[in-house]
Amino acid sequence: MNFFTYIVMFGFLPFSLWLFDKYPPKIAVATVFVVGWSFLPQAEIVVPILPDYTKISALGAAALLGVYMKDPKVLSTFKLSWVDAPMICWCISPFFASISNDLGAWDGMAVFLQQFLEWGFPYFVGRLYFGELDAMRILGIAMFIGALVLAPLAIFEVIMSPQLHIMLYGWYPHDFSQTKRGGGYRPSIFMHHGLELAIWMMAGLFLGWQLFLQKVLKKQIPILNVPLFPSVLFLTFVTVACKSSGALMLFFFAMGIFISSKMLKSTLPFFLLLAIPVLYMNLRANGFWDGQSLIDAAEKATGSAERAESLSYRIHNETMLVEKAQERKIFGWGGYRRSFVTNDLGEYISVPDGMWILTYGKYGLFGLTSLTTTILLAAFLFARKWPASTWGDPLVAPSAAFAILLGVTMIDDLLNAMYNPVTMLAAGGLSSLVIKPQKIRSSADLEKGDADTLPAAALLPATRVI
């Protein structure tokens, strides 16, 4: 870790203040999370007493500093609601795990703080700033732009191998041998792993296609001032070049859900999407399904025995971890790899991959239920309030796309543990959308602008509102 790493990590805090000075708060917050997640290094800087200063905590600290220093009045507008209960339970689940395992209240509070910075803070920032349709539209455009800006860097690493994190920050944050894929390289840029980048690009691509297909944007992309359709095509090419079959399958799945729901004017396909991870976790956690049929289906779909073998390895490890998790079913084993399986010599023989099994092992059913509900409840309630017949509206479409992304995220979490702070912003925004009346915007309102509509009016083209 070189000196430049420290400059970037701590320099991100004044950069956040500059953003809040230059742009309206909604745009500043979206930029903090998109830019920070895209470009900050995978660093862990030890800070006395406090949790380690990491990429995730830097995002939270930068956003908190900007809100507190530049927009403190927004804090007085926040009111807890029943929709926040799952997130609150998720944040406190580490404390219960520590207490129930005799790890102590200090350990529990330390992990609680880390959990809050990683999950709770982005969610509550989303509740504060993205609780309206036009605000979710800003967030969707920001994430698309973020993926598009990374696209040329991804092409560079496809050709030259993942070198950017090494070149700028002095080290590679993962096993470099895992970057080789299909006779070439899988890019990771400043993400922890190539798969994490692929999921990020997939999400940006899905949003980009909805911005185009639902006419949320007309011809140009704000800020970049480049043509929309060629940019979406370019991002499609780059996402394929990221060499992640799983990310591509999730993209096509998300597109199919949006298109079928809109064409049928029914939220049934969407609700089936939300049911998939819930059904999977229940069947696996209770031992009702061994997963072999999923392995067979994967081999047929990809035509690759290697991919099927990789999935089989994950399922086998998952089975061992489920058996261990059931020994402490309610609050889990806590941290320090206590939920992992070891042999008689104390050596680890299990390799957890999925977010769900990691959560089940560490925080039990209490934590797993809290996390699942946090991700899926906002999406479910959104679809109840805005039926699929409205999803083609330019102002509703980005929120609908984020609701689908939350469902897709939970599906990805069955096999991987890839975190995305922008989806937590979206979960918070969707939660606010469903509990408060929406101010009806018109094109004239956006062109005229007021204290709340100005961010959209100033930066984004006006659109019709249902």
pLDDT at 438: 60
Distance CA 36, CA 60 (A): 10
Q: Does residue 335 lie within any of the structural domains?
A: no
Q: Which residues does the chain have with pLDDT short of 50?
A: 440, 442-466
Q: Does residue 49 lie within any of the structural domains?
A: yes
pLDDT at 325: 94
DSSP codes, 312-357: HHHHHHHHHHHHHHGGGTTT---STTTTS-B-TTS-B------HHH
Where in the sequence is the domain holding 124, given as residue range(s)? 3-280+356-459
> Which residue carries 């799945």 as its tokens?
253
Q: Does residue 112 lie within any of the structural domains?
A: yes
Q: Does residue 411 lie within any of the structural domains?
A: yes
Q: Does residue 297 lie within any of the structural domains?
A: no
Q: Does residue 383 lie within any of the structural domains?
A: yes
Structurally, how many domains does the chain consist of?
A: 1
Q: Does residue 351 lie within any of the structural domains?
A: no
Is residue 27 a contact partner of residue 455, using CB atoms and an 8 Å limit?
yes
Q: Does residue 436 lie within any of the structural domains?
A: yes
Q: What pLDDT, in 10s, does the model give residues 56-81?
A: 989 989 999 999 999 999 999 899 99
pLDDT at 257: 97
Distance CA 194, CA 162 (A): 9
pLDDT at 302: 66
> Which residue carries 């998720």 as its tokens?
90
Entry pTM? 0.90
pLDDT at 464: 35
pLDDT at 348: 86
Q: Which ranges constitute the DSSP H helices of 116-244?
A: 121-129, 133-160, 164-169, 194-213, 228-241
